[in-house]
Structure 1
Amino acid sequence: MSFARIPFTAAALALATIAAPVAFTAPASAAINNQDPTQFVTGFTQEGLGALRGGNPTAAKAKFRTMLAQHVAVDQIGDRLIRRWKPTLKPEQVAAYKAALPNYIIGVYADRLFEYANADVKIIRTQPAANGAAVVSTVTKKGQAPINAIWAVVNTPQGYKVSNLTVAGINLTLTQAADFDAYIQRNGFDKLVAFMKSKG
């Protein structure tokens, strides 16, 4: 149960993810401008790629955890993933799920992102969207055709945060929600949380 069939995810960075994408390196300590959506996505991907290019998985995962907490709308994304089930859940079940979600994202996607450490990313345009903006980009690995990636960013009191990513026409939040739905139907919500903890 994952985005394994999707060629590129920022879920760890943005998600992402996821967690994501201009082939230039920025210092890990560079401040991300979260007041402008284009500059935010540019800075966000620079920091993520910088962590990947360091070649140290442990350090990269630690960096991703920080980025996830600061620059990704984790609670909003998490609520969307279980929207169908949330009215039936107890508060303690929701709390356990939200506690497991960040480590699940890092555990599932961080290692996969290393193959994109040297990808080239080009911001194409930024357009207004509900409660924020959509930043359209292309991601290109050497020797491969570019992949379209659209970053949904939401404007919060703390500045812009990543709220979704659509890669090659595939909406990552909708895809993961469908995966969660199928798992819950087969095994129940508590088993989903246990599964998430096992991957974190």
Structure 2
Amino acid sequence: MHFRRFILGAAMAAPLLGMMATATRAQTLSTDTAKAFIDQSGQQLVTIVNGGGSPTDRATQLRTLVNQIVAVDQVGDYVLGRYINIATPAQHDKFQQLFHQLLSYNITYQIKAYQGVSFTVNDATPQGDGMLVDTTITTPGKAPADVGWDVEEVGGKPQIVDVIVAGTSMRITTRNDYASVITDNGGNVSALLTAMQNQIDKAASADQ
């Protein structure tokens, strides 16, 4: 199976985070809080990507940071969509496990391509229960990219719940991709789990 875009994949063109979502809603963050959060998170990402150390070390640092600034578990539930009501508890647990693994592999892959990246926060506007923070991502040899980061308060702290690239919501794109895999296989969630495992096996083989 080929996902047109996978979490952190397309968004990494912008550069390191992908479509995120949360089922937990909270009060709207202030503009200043959302901008400060994205600025700090972006600079931390850039420091890791442009820093020294082996790709493995940097990937480990990025995984730790992403788990702090992104609502990863809620992301998984969102992109599983309506099929969360069909999945058995065991299938849901497996999905979350695979989802985290794919996220980790994607981070590892992307850090190889984005050294020299810079990150600038522009403005923020209210969106839903959160704030959409507009940024400009600059990568050597590429045109600057405008990227929007949807930030909400989750568990009492700001977290990224979606990334908007070229007007496209990464969380919606990924949910549609996952739904297509399931519906093309008779509504079987197990088909998605198999496809995700195949993606992980392929990524693992490429790293060897």
Tell me which residue corresponds to 1:39.
Answer: 36
Deviation digits for residues 77-101 of structure 1 (CA, Å, limit 9, x no counterpart): 1111011311211122111111221
Q: Distance in 2 between matches of 1:11 and 1:139?
A: 6
Compared CA separation, residues 65 and 109, structure 1 to 2 (3 A): closer
Q: Secondary structure at the match of 2:82?
A: coil
Could you tell me how far 1:167 is from its partner in structure 2? 1.0
Could you tell me how far 1:10 is from its partner in structure 2? 7.3
Could you tell me how far 1:11 is from its partner in structure 2? 9.3
Q: Distance in 2 between matches of 1:180 and 1:151?
A: 22
Q: Which aligned pairs between 1:9-24 and structure 2 lie closer than 5 A?
A: 9=12, 13-15=16-18
Deviation digits for residues 68-124 of structure 1 (CA, Å, limit 9, x no counterpart): 322111122111101131121112211111122111112134312432221222211
What letter is aligned with 2:43? Q
**RMSD of aligned alpha carbons:** 2.6
1:123 equivalenced with 2:126 (yes/no): no
Q: Is the 8 A contact 1:15 1:72 kept in 2?
A: no
Tell me which residue corresponds to 1:31.
Answer: none
Higher RCO (Cα < 8 Å, 6 or more apart): 2
Q: Distance in 1 between matches of 2:13 and 2:143?
A: 18
Q: Which aligned pairs between 1:1-200 and structure 2 lie closer than 5 A?
A: 1-2=2-3, 3=5, 8-9=11-12, 13-15=16-18, 36-54=33-51, 56-187=54-185, 188-198=188-198, 199=200
Q: Secondary structure at the match of 2:12?
A: coil
Unmatched tracts of structure 2, length 5 or more: 21-31
TM-score (norm 1): 0.79
TM-score (norm 2): 0.76
Unmatched tracts of structure 1, length 5 or more: 18-34
Q: Is the 8 A contact 1:71 1:161 kept in 2?
A: yes
Compared CA separation, residues 157 and 80, structure 1 to 2 (3 A): closer
Compared CA separation, residues 163 and 47, structure 1 to 2 (3 A): same
Deviation digits for residues 102-154 of structure 1 (CA, Å, limit 9, x no counterpart): 11112134312432221222211012222221100111222332211000011
Could you tell me how far 1:196 is from its partner in structure 2? 2.5
Could you tell me how far 1:162 is from its partner in structure 2? 0.6
What letter is aligned with 1:192? L
Q: Is the 8 A contact 1:12 1:110 kept in 2?
A: no
Deviation digits for residues 29-69 of structure 1 (CA, Å, limit 9, x no counterpart): xxxxxx92111111111222222223522112211221232
